[in-house]
Amino acid sequence: MKRLQNVWKDKVAVLSLSIITVTTMAGIFAPFVAPHDPAEVHMELRFASASWEYLLGNDHLGRCVLSRLIYAIRPSMLWVFAALLLSVLIGSIVGVLAGYFRGKTDAFLMRVCDVVLSFPGYVMTLAIIGILGVGFENLIIAFVLMKWAWFARIIRASVMQYAESDYVKFSKAIGASNMGIMIRHIIPVALPDIAVISSSSFGSMILQISGFSFLGLGIQAPEAEWGMMLNEAREVMFSRPEFMLAPGLTIVIVVSAINYLSDTLQVALDPKLMTSAYKQQGVVRASAVKLEGKGVA
């Protein structure tokens, strides 16, 4: 908890956390926050400009852009987060087992990961979508099938450095079970690494999901998704660029907030990075003091 207090001292990190929290809450309570039904069609308002009733205007079918933007939080962010949690869960189980037991278990599990990782991620995702069919659910399945191996390898490397610790050896010596050691001693110390890895991957997964939806391989009409909204606004991207600006800026702001918060968490949870950050602050302050001294002289 003391390490996490440093996050609250960073104003940009607090702003990033606020953006993520507000966006998440808006997605969860979308039916109460959105001013209109996102699927309600009004052809007489096709590409209508912003007004008091429709703050961000209307799309090519006269639907409320703001309402669709709010409802799009669910697939673009919340469902992506669910896919991330599932990928991390599978990767954590495989990584902890491989890093703790090593030997044949490690060799077998890592060869499976090597097979999965040997294929280019986007190519395999397209192949899985081609087999399962176009759709957001199939896209999420493809992401989980491709992401877990990457998490497993990184978590394995983190677990291996703790598996040979003295307290783990002492636990084995007094007869503690392997499952008990992993739950009580390995997983708690590996959680900060897992949290940093997960948070750093969240933003990239949002971008990838939006990219596939932009290409028409993700969520399908009439549902709303940020990437699909960008694709729908291409028709008037030069005459009415504001229709691409709304989902585009939303993606940029949310992903930037997630990435900055991830970097702040990494510094807060990693003592080495925290120490180097303090050293840099000390150097900057010392330089400032010297410059002030020269100015006074």
pLDDT by 10s per residue, the chain, length 297: 555 666 677 788 889 889 999 999 999 999 999 998 888 888 888 888 888 888 888 888 889 999 999 999 998 898 999 999 999 999 989 998 888 888 888 899 999 998 888 888 778 888 888 888 888 888 888 888 888 988 898 888 888 888 777 878 788 788 878 788 888 888 888 887 788 888 878 888 899 888 888 888 888 878 888 988 888 888 888 888 888 888 999 999 999 999 888 888 777 766 555 544 444 444 334 443 344 444 433
**Rounded CA separation 50/20 (Å):** 25
DSSP 3-state assignment of 39? Answer: coil
**Rounded CA separation 157/160 (Å):** 5
Burial of 51 (0-12, 13-18, 19+ CB in 10 A): exposed
Burial of 39 (0-12, 13-18, 19+ CB in 10 A): middle
The pTM of this model reads 0.81
Contact 153, 113 (CB under 8 A): yes
DSSP 3-state assignment of 64? Answer: strand
Q: How many CB atoms lie within 10 A of CB 201?
A: 20
